[in-house]
Chains A and B, each alone.
Chain A
Amino acid sequence: MRLILEKRAETPLAMTIASPLIAVALTLVSAAVIFLAMGQDPWAALHVYFVAPLSDSWGLQEVAVKATPLVLISVGLALCYRSNNWNIGAEGQFLVGAMAGGWLALATHGAPQGPWLLPSMLVVGAIGGALFALIPAVLKTRFGANEILTSLMLVYVAELLLDWLVRGPWRDPQGFNMPVTVTFEPEAVVPLLLEGGRLNLGTPIALLVVAIVAVLVGRTLKGFEIRLVGEAPRAARFAGFDERRLTWTVFAISGALAGLAGILEAAGTVRMLQPGISPGYGFTAIIVAFLGRLNPVGCLIAGVFLAITFIGGENAQIMLRMPLDVTRVFQGLLLFYVLACDTLLLYRPRLVRSAAA
């Protein structure tokens, strides 16, 4: 017996929706097995991981807070991946956005500030992320340098740049030598939506972005161009679409969204700059993009699910003394299953006898 793949003539709609759900279900089963192997009660552990974060208002707010950067980044990445541009440096673009916007907050610190400050910070953050993302894009179109490697290398560069800034020129003089900047002034902080929680204006901004990108992809010529270049590059060339311009566009958009996510995180949740302001959002967003089937609304749903795993992982570390890395294992497994299930969309797997083949 062996497995062969037969190409499907068309993709059934039911499979398109079912495949990410199957992937999530398989991840949950694998999680239970891993918990069992680690000597935990699988039901109790699954509850801590995937149910408890949703059981009270505080937990729900935390899920929204964690989902916001994931959704923002993944929506941009989905545009890139659809057009065969492999930007995997969103983590770096996130940090540069936080630094660029944070720079404005620090430069005006202690000076009279106005309501213009926060919007300007968000814009500067997005521009910073976009410019940083344009580096691998230009290196790709101008020199043919592999964007996967260059965008990833720039993540390390951004991390070290942030480290230098908060230990050097931007360090809070009253910070007891800790590598942190001063806490941002109230005008430079993203306003909270509810009393006594952490939910802030960033979440509605992310929802707005999802809506805009969904319209852009589904209803405009640019969106068609992005899809066409990814799915049929030859046809796109015949149609006269400029592939280089498109590469710049999608990198700039995804960099801007990652940068926006970065400054929202710095000015909303952390309220200062410090190393480790991101628990790997830029990398997890890659998984979100694929789980969301490279579709903006899909990214929204997938972002909420992965946010739950982040909170569940933190809870499990405290309550069950499990290493935080378990979360990454689940996230990696989830992406494996998503990719495996995607095959079911394109091919019909069939077991045949070896002799017949």
Chain B
Amino acid sequence: MTLLEAILLTVITASTPLLIAAIGELVVEKSGVLNLGVEGMMIMGAACGIVAAIATGSGAAGVLAAVLAGMAMAALFAALTLGLAANQVAAGLALTIFGIGLSGVVGAAHVGAQREGIGKLEIPLLSDIPFLGPVLFGQDPFVYASFALTAGVAWFLTRTKAGLILRACGESAASAHALGYPVLRIRFLAILFGGACAGLAGAYLSLVLTPFWTSGMTAGRGWIALAIVVFASWLPWRAALGAYLFGGITILQLHAQGAGFRVPPQLMSALPYLITIVVLVAIMRLRRGGTAGPANLGTPFVPDR
């Protein structure tokens, strides 16, 4: 295995959870809801995933538990923001604080408990191709799933009637409601989908990337996923580009630290966060201040019967 190949493989593993979480949030935001609780849903997915996997001895059960945990957290958010029309920014922050705390309680008994990671799914023959084989066809199932999700969401949003209705809820909830579409139900389903994706991304962290639990292990990835959605101008394939950009930066700074660059390691660790800020500014400059986001993003909707 060459060094380049090794770097590419690690970039993929660093980018996959970002991509999965970002795609989920993208759908949520397209429906007009801003869920800032991605970090909280993701870390609950990570905690419940590893606990269930250890308890049952099955990686699949862990993934299922993580997805359900993410959806349960999302349902809590939906109850507040849709059922009670609460402030979405504050509710998202509450979800993050709550999730970080609860994941610590759930995972407390399993800190550092090692578990064999979920293996790679090597496609026969194709994965034997030199260089391209291992990179493209020798990945774990999550990597394929992340691209299937991206393609699926891109198709759903632009090519299906349901996707059009979902976008209508995000652009003008009042108009969608006037046309007779159940805005709140559609937003609820979108929020649940976002929760499932965040939970899945969390499972990737605790079951594949570092196959053990440490509290606070998401380390801001949920927030970076939110930034990726903005960077992507709410376009699925551009979200994939964003996720790989951030994943690439994370890995590059790790390799730079390993290579013994005479730069403080803290500066290197701060790079992904600093670059997030730079990218957010740059993308807004390119757009000349326009948001390109759904027009009704973040505004609660209360149907007047």
The stretch among A57-65, A138-146, A190-198, A239-247 that forms the contact with chain B is A138-146
Identify the interface centre among B84, B91, B280: most chain A CB within 10 Å of its CB: B84
Contact digits for A138-161, partner B, Cβ 8 Å, 1 yes 0 no: 010001111011101110110011
Smallest Cβ distance from B287 to chain A, in angstroms?
8
Say if the beta carbon of B119 comes within 8 Å of chain A: no
Asked if residues A139 and B90 are in contact (CB atoms below 8 Å), the reply is no
Contact digits for A306-325, partner B, Cβ 8 Å, 1 yes 0 no: 00000000000000000111
A window 1-27: CB within 8 A of B:
3-5, 7
Q: For the complex, what is the distance from the CA of A329 to the CA of B101, rounded to whole Å?
A: 5
Residue of B nearest to A5 (CB): B302
Q: Quick one: given A5-B302, A153-B276, are A332 and B223 in contact (CB under 8 Å)?
A: no
Partner of B266, one of A86, A152, A163, A326: A163
Contact digits for B250-282, partner A, Cβ 8 Å, 1 yes 0 no: 000000000000001011011001101100110
Asked if residues A333 and B98 are in contact (CB atoms below 8 Å), the reply is yes
Q: Quick one: given A328-B97, A336-B94, A339-B90, are A357 and B274 in contact (CB under 8 Å)?
A: no
Q: Quick one: given A5-B302, A154-B277, A156-B220, are A332 and B284 in contact (CB under 8 Å)?
A: no
Residue of A nearest to B302 (CB): A5
Asked if residues A328 and B269 are in contact (CB atoms below 8 Å), the reply is no
What number of B residues sit within 8 Å (CB to CB) of A? 50
Say if the beta carbon of B105 comes within 8 Å of chain A: yes
Asked if residues B302 and A7 are in contact (CB atoms below 8 Å), the reply is yes
Asked if residues B93 and A335 are in contact (CB atoms below 8 Å), the reply is yes
Residues of A within 8 A of B269 (CB): 160
Smallest Cβ distance from B42 to chain A, in angstroms?
15
Q: Quick one: given A157-B274, A160-B270, A323-B108, are A339 and B86 in contact (CB under 8 Å)?
A: yes
Asked if residues B98 and A339 are in contact (CB atoms below 8 Å), the reply is no
Asked if residues A161 and B97 are in contact (CB atoms below 8 Å), the reply is no
Residue of B nearest to A290 (CB): B90
Residues of B within 8 A of A4 (CB): 303, 305
B window 7-49: CB within 8 A of A:
36, 40
Smallest Cβ distance from A90 to chain B, in angstroms?
12
Q: For the complex, what is the distance from the CA of A349 to the CA of B84, rounded to whole Å?
A: 9
Say if the beta carbon of B192 comes within 8 Å of chain A: no
Say if the beta carbon of A283 comes within 8 Å of chain B: yes
Say if the beta carbon of B176 comes within 8 Å of chain A: no
Partner of A343, one of B85, B96, B102: B85
Say if the beta carbon of B180 comes within 8 Å of chain A: no
Asked if residues A143 and B305 are in contact (CB atoms below 8 Å), the reply is no
Asked if residues B98 and A336 are in contact (CB atoms below 8 Å), the reply is yes
Say if the beta carbon of A210 comes within 8 Å of chain B: no
Partner of A156, one of B83, B94, B101, B270: B270
Say if the beta carbon of B124 comes within 8 Å of chain A: no
Asked if residues A139 and B86 are in contact (CB atoms below 8 Å), the reply is no
B window 78-127: CB within 8 A of A:
80, 83-87, 89-91, 93-105, 108
Residues of B within 8 A of A335 (CB): 90, 93-94, 97-98
Residues of B within 8 A of A325 (CB): 100-105, 108, 215
Q: For the complex, what is the distance from the CA of A149 to the CA of B188, rounded to whole Å?
A: 24
Say if the beta carbon of A127 comes within 8 Å of chain B: no
Residues of B within 8 A of A164 (CB): 264, 266-267
Identify the interface centre among B223, B273, B291: most chain A CB within 10 Å of its CB: B273
Say if the beta carbon of B174 comes within 8 Å of chain A: no
Asked if residues B91 and A329 are in contact (CB atoms below 8 Å), the reply is no
Asked if residues B83 and A339 are in contact (CB atoms below 8 Å), the reply is no
Say if the beta carbon of B230 comes within 8 Å of chain A: yes
Residues of B within 8 A of A339 (CB): 80, 84, 86-87, 90-91, 94
Residues of A within 8 A of B305 (CB): 4, 357
Q: For the complex, what is the distance from the CA of A187 to the CA of B77, rounded to whole Å?
A: 49
Say if the beta carbon of A186 comes within 8 Å of chain B: no
Residue of B nearest to A330 (CB): B101
| 15 A-B contacts (beta carbon < 8 Å) | A5-B85, A144-B289, A149-B227, A152-B220, A153-B223, A156-B273, A161-B266, A168-B264, A283-B97, A325-B103, A326-B101, A335-B94, A339-B91, A340-B86, A347-B302
**10 A-B pairs closest in CB distance:** A332-B98, A328-B101, A325-B104, A335-B94, A164-B266, A329-B101, A339-B86, A343-B84, A160-B266, A332-B97
- Residues of A in contact with B (beta carbons under 8 Å apart): 3-5, 7, 86, 88, 139, 143-146, 148-150, 152-154, 156-157, 160-161, 163-164, 167-168, 283, 286-287, 290, 323-333, 335-336, 339-340, 342-343, 346-347, 349, 357
11 additional A-B pairs beyond A157-B273, A332-B101, A347-B85, beta carbons within 8 Å, are A7-B302, A143-B284, A144-B284, A144-B291, A153-B223, A156-B270, A160-B270, A329-B105, A332-B94, A333-B98, A349-B84
